[in-house]
Chain A
Amino acid sequence: MLLASMLSLHVWGQTKLTAQQQNQILEKIEKAASASTSMQCDFTQTKSMKLLSKEMQSKGMMYFKQPNKLRWQYTSPYDYTFIMNGDKVTMKSSKSTQNIDVQGNKIFRQITKIILNCITGGGLRSAADFQVEVYKSDNGYFAKLYPKKKELKQLYQVIEITFNQQLTMVSGVKMVEKTGDVTTVKLLNVKNNPSINESTFAVR
């Protein structure tokens, strides 16, 4: 019993950092984020829903180039590609291709900003849309982002960004929706500063 309690404390042990410690950690992450000019990785996405007994799992590839070029491509079990290139976004599925100008769409502008923050870990100190809390756990550091604005509050309770041990990049993102459903994204096989062809981010 005692051993079980100790183990559970060990697993669940997480400490909220003081404002000063938080600032230092986020500064370190932002420095690493701004030093990274490009990034490429695989990802897995798992969604667990209160209503359904099984989880939805998908996977794909991600390419990112500073300051705002992103290709987020699902390859299994469905094909779907999201490309952001500055203010332009293209979403391609097997049945349709849609182009959006982010400047003219407030929700989309917020979502693309969140995606970029979640991928690089940068911009968290000045994130006006969220109240940010940083925690230390046995596995390293993670940030909890509580939405401040109405539009985001309607979508998410909290977004958790986990950083790698060296605090140089994001290793995973967990998004908890208002309904309690949880989407977890893990970044795998991360390559920092690879050379990525511009055509990867081509939008129509």
Chain B
Amino acid sequence: MKARLLFVNLLLFCCLVSCFAQDVSSKDYNLFMQIRGREITALCVMEVKADSTIVGTVVNEFGVKAFDFSFANGKAKVFNMIAFLDKWYIRKVLRGDFSFILSNIGSGRDAVKKKRRLTVLSNGDICVSNDRYNIHYTFTPMSSKP
């Protein structure tokens, strides 16, 4: 009886562990942005929750946050923006761009919607262009070198 209980406990424990392990998956990218001729490099880290909601952040290499984002039901939100970027028109463009990016970044296929294009390069880079505002994003999956 004891052995059976122990076995059931162990089984439950293993199920719980595997549930938690699958709860969140994360993706890290080097992000290169070109905004009307100006170049910015950053890091973009995101987590995909079990309910497919995505949360993430864009920080510079020193760890200073530019903004956070979330994505659910096809819509992105941007928040916690660094003061000098925190303007309604910047939030609006980023919200639109990240809605498009996060809808398509996991598919592995090219995508087009109005003035926005996403291209998956053979080296794994994901290039996104917003032709209306001349903004280009390149997401390079970060290697997991030790």
**Chain A residues at the B interface, C-beta cutoff of 8 Å:** 45, 47, 49, 51-54, 56, 58, 74, 76-78, 80, 82, 91, 93-96, 98, 107, 151, 154-155, 175, 177, 179, 181, 183
Contacts and interface: CB of A to CB of B under 8 A. Distances in A.
A47 B61 CA distance: 11
Contacts, number: 80
Contacts of A155: 64, 82-83
B61 A175 contact: no
Interface in B34-67: 39, 41, 43, 45, 47, 55-57, 59, 61-65
Interface stretch (B9-17, B22-30, B88-96, B99-107): B22-30
Contact of A52 (B57, B64, B83): B57
Contact of A154 (B56, B83, B146): B83
B144 interface: yes
A54 B32 contact: no
Contacts of B83: 151, 154-155
Interface residues of B, number: 31
Among A45, A78, A98, A183: residue with most chain B CB under 10 A? A78
Contacts of A56: 28, 43, 45, 59, 63
Contacts of B145: 76-77
B41 A80 contact: yes
Interface of B: 24, 26, 28, 30, 32, 39, 41, 43, 45, 47, 55-57, 59, 61-65, 68, 80, 82-84, 138, 140, 142-146
A157 to B, nearest CB: 13
Contacts of A47: 59, 63
Contacts of A51: 55-57, 68
B41 A93 contact: yes
Nearest to A48: B63
Contacts of A154: 82-84
A120 to B, nearest CB: 18
A76 B146 CA distance: 7
A56 B65 CA distance: 12
Nearest to B38: A98
A80 B65 contact: no
Given A52-B47, A96-B32, A155-B64, A77 B143 contact: yes
Contacts of A93: 30, 32, 41, 61
A74 B65 contact: no
Given A49-B68, A51-B56, A179-B80, 17 more contacts: A45-B62, A45-B63, A47-B59, A51-B57, A52-B26, A52-B45, A52-B56, A54-B26, A56-B63, A76-B146, A78-B30, A78-B142, A93-B61, A95-B32, A95-B41, A107-B84, A179-B68
